[in-house]
Copies of this chain bind each other. A is one copy, B any other.
Amino acid sequence: MAKTSEVEIILVGNELLKGERRDSHAQFIGNLIGTIGVRLTRAHIVPDDREIIGDTVRRRMRSARAIVVSGGLGPTHDDITREAVADGLGASLEFREDQWKWIVGVFSRFNKTPHESNKRQAYFPPGSEVIPNALGTAPGFMIEKDGCLVAVLPGPPRELRPMMESTVLDKLQSIFRRDPLFTETFRTTGIGESDMTPKVGPLFANFEKEFVVSSLPHLGGVDVVLTARTDGDLKKLKKRADKFEASLREILGAHVFGKGTRSFQAVVGDLLIKRGETLGVSESLTGGLIGKNLTDTPGSSAYLLADVVAYSNESKVEFVGVRKASLKKHGAVSEVVCREMAAGIRARTDATYGLATTGIAGPDGGTKEKPVGLTYFGLASGDGEEIRHRVFPGDRITIRERVAYATLYLLYRKLTRV
């Protein structure tokens, strides 16, 4: 293959450049094509500008074996992607009667008739393969030219994702016919990159010949990622990776919480399920974030009994049995109240463990004695309560994320004795 680049994506949308939307396609597509051993080599975000889109398609077709373009296929006048891609391909657009009938059919299923403007969605470059859209009115299309596959898909994730997962992925697989490049991620927590580097440096060096070893800081720790340098013998690579893992676990112990993409929350849930134990949570400043994070993973009902967001003082008393006297004497953001919340939710749900948070998420509500970020978080178990406090840095969203992580880390330590 003369091409220097495998798959590139061109994401179309002023809203992605003006900060009105955060792209999720790069992550999704990178992940997806990784499963068939194909690499996303570059991503470009470009404005709703016919010339720039057309130009980018034309230029990147020279280097890339495949290009996915997303966004701007709707019926409105600022949806100019189909025209721009045709420019890039040096092609025109032709009306496809069959596709127009399909669009009319979609509308009629909802007892509606399409508007005249929807007719634009039935135009395609000659010779394209139409990609059906099960969840919207804009079909996609793909076409090969000059050794490059150009696939064009609508922008909304719920429409793009199934279209990528079926038609486009099959096509990429038939183009690349690739053994998956070996990659493995080891996830660690409770140790920063600077502390980890000297400990694991010699180990990393030992495996440099077969793997690119990268470390990637995240909210509560560091991911260590192995990627094979070449498409070698998969079995052999797997064996070496197992060896790497064993050494890493020997060095870092339970700081290594998992492998792959499974989240820290999911891993804590797995530990509880394995032990047949249960959890009750009572949140104040995190407002439901801990519960939301835990229940993002299927199966969480096996251990999570209840999560009471006791936002008002009255609800702290009513739902988890905090004493009015404690609130009056110490205030809601205090060690005493946090302890009563953790013990209270544990008792009321009859769970093995109780977790609690109370603090000041900001930006307002801070004082000199109790600044923004000050948080008490704690764990109740059969051994009593363990309450910590810390002033977390960052804005409201960051503070809440850090608190949620730190609180769950208390439980993780209890379950693994890090």
Contacts and interface: CB of A to CB of B under 8 A. Distances in A.
Given A311-B304, A362-B298, A394 B112 contact: no
Interface string A360-399: 0111100000000000000000000000000001101110
Interface in A102-156: 107, 112, 114-115, 117-118, 135, 137, 156
Contact of A311 (B45, B300, B314): B300
A54 interface: no
Nearest to A49: B41
A359 to B, nearest CB: 12
A212 interface: yes
A20 interface: yes
A265 to B, nearest CB: 11
Given A22-B27, A287-B296, A291-B311, 5 more contacts: A14-B214, A18-B39, A19-B34, A288-B291, A304-B309
A15 B301 contact: no
A306 to B, nearest CB: 4
B292 A289 contact: yes
A78 B214 contact: yes
A305 interface: yes
A295 interface: yes
Number of this chain's copies in the complex: 2
A32 interface: yes
Contact of A215 (B76, B137, B285, B319): B76
Interface string A1-35: 00000000000001111111111101111111010
A117 B284 CA distance: 42
Contact of A185 (B17, B20, B290, B348): B20
Nearest to A296: B397
Interface stretch (A166-174, A191-199, A250-258, A408-416): A191-199
Given A16-B26, A45-B43, A197-B76, A307 B287 contact: yes
Contacts of A183: 18
Interface in A274-306: 281, 283, 285-292, 294-296, 298-301, 304-306
A4 to B, nearest CB: 9
A76 B30 contact: no
Which 10 A-B pairs give the minimum distances between C-beta atoms?
Answer: A287-B295, A288-B291, A19-B31, A288-B288, A306-B315, A19-B30, A307-B309, A43-B45, A288-B292, A22-B27
Interface string A178-203: 00000101000000011101100000
A74 B289 CA distance: 30
B19 A32 contact: yes
Nearest to A14: B214
Contacts of A319: 306, 308, 319, 348
A221 interface: no
Residue among A28, A115, A227 facing the most chain B CB atoms (10 A cut-off): A115
Interface string A322-358: 0000000000000000000000000011100000000
A17 B44 contact: no
A274 to B, nearest CB: 18
Nearest to A305: B312
A231 interface: no
B393 A135 contact: yes
A308 B309 contact: yes
A16 B20 contact: no
Given A19-B30, A19-B31, A307 B311 contact: yes
